[in-house]
A and B are shown apart, each in its own frame.
Chain A
Amino acid sequence: GAVVSQHPSRVICKSGTSVKIECRSLDFQATTMFWYRQFPKQSLMLMATSNEGSKATYEQGVEKDKFLINHASLTLSTLTVTSAHPEDSSFYICSARSQETQYFGPGTRLLVL
């Protein structure tokens, strides 16, 4: 199957700093990528849909000014958590669709102290 990578795999940062997470489709091009968030013992929640060359579409309740998404190329989308706070600590997962199937990255564990 197609491969999606994420970097970094885990990050620890101080409250108030910004963190950038990269999502890459390694062997296919993706005009659309998705960003999810998962809190402990909960299911994945869709945060936003990232569209190459245009603005992202955010789910209700997700602050677009806090979670900046850039999809500058057909193989790269980035999620920047701005002014991170402890409540932003979570597991962030991206995905991209190849043909009929959506493939997921390995996830990024963010801990904000």
Chain B
Amino acid sequence: DAKTTQPPSMDCAEGRAANLPCNHSTISGNEYVYWYRQIHSQGPQYIIHGLKNNETNEMASLIITEDRKSSTLILPHATLRDTAVYYCIVSPFSNSGYALNFGKGTSLLVTP
């Protein structure tokens, strides 16, 4: 699987947009970009994923560069409950199931 690089930590003021970057310069054509977050002592929570196009759901937006070598997760209005470790993972999609390999992620702290 392609490797990802994320900043170890970021801060964001409550109510502001949180923009979390991820580099995946060795991504392959069949690999998706997935974002998960893990709140302390809980299992990872799925946020969003994409292949080429930008994606948006009720939680966040995912912006993928045209060359697919990097992406940005955007939480439009961060709240204190968004404080968590955010993981950017690239993985091929397969019906048989590829395990997701977690890096160290970005620890996001949302402050009042």
Contact = CB atoms under 8 A, between A and B. Distances in A.
Interface in B90-105: 93, 96-97, 99-105
Nearest to A57: B99
B44 A31 contact: no
A91 B44 CA distance: 12
Contacts of B102: 36, 43-45
B41 A31 contact: no
Contacts of B34: 101-102
Interface in A15-47: 30-32, 34, 36, 43-46
A109 B87 CA distance: 21
Interface of B is mostly: loop
Most chain B beta-carbon neighbours within 10 Å: one of A91, A100, A102: A102
B32 A100 contact: yes
Contacts, number: 56
B99 A106 contact: no
Nearest to A35: B99
A91 B40 CA distance: 11
B54 to A, nearest CB: 16
Interface residues of A, number: 26
Nearest to B103: A43
Given A32-B97, A34-B100, A43-B87, 10 more contacts: A1-B46, A30-B97, A43-B104, A44-B102, A93-B43, A95-B43, A100-B32, A101-B34, A102-B34, A102-B46
A49 B99 contact: yes
Contacts of B93: 100
Interface in B1-48: 32, 34, 36, 38, 41-46
A72 B93 CA distance: 24
A3 to B, nearest CB: 11
